[in-house]
Structure 1
């Protein structure tokens, strides 16, 4: 891979590795000079030796697995209860615990609904206060008969 095509971070890491080989020959001095730790240097060196220049690229820090993530079946039940029964997070939590023996927190249900953009019900399905729920009929003048 040519030098101009590589991104800035790869060039910097390659410069650190070359500085040890060509200039000082001392890892500790080079790490102090560039402001990195020695384990970081050895990580870059190991990747460079096994993968070449591509090993010096930035990698994702996202975990490969999430063992404590909510199972897909539970998420499907939450979606079903929200879409068909218009339950809120607390009622969904209570329903899952009572009828399916699934323990999940109210905030966990809310985070799942928020992630799926289902945290707010449509205006036609939201709770309305009792005084605004019905439009009251009033006669046009007192004593008017229907």
Structure 2
């Protein structure tokens, strides 16, 4: 994943960054009860899998990011 700076004076770009952070905070971080870093890393992997392949997203019209990607590739 590449790193890009948000243009100054363009707050609408910030939402693209903040939305996944909000989901992580509300849906993932509050569910944690980790005991070791290994356990935490495993849970992060599971969350990323769920978030990208199974979790419905409003911006994707209720589909997962993966389903949306596949749809656009097939067009």
TM-score by length of 2: 0.30
- TM-score, with normalisation over the residues of structure 1? 0.18
**Larger helix proportion of the pair:** 2
Task: Compare CA radii of gyration and give the structure with the larger one.
Answer: 1
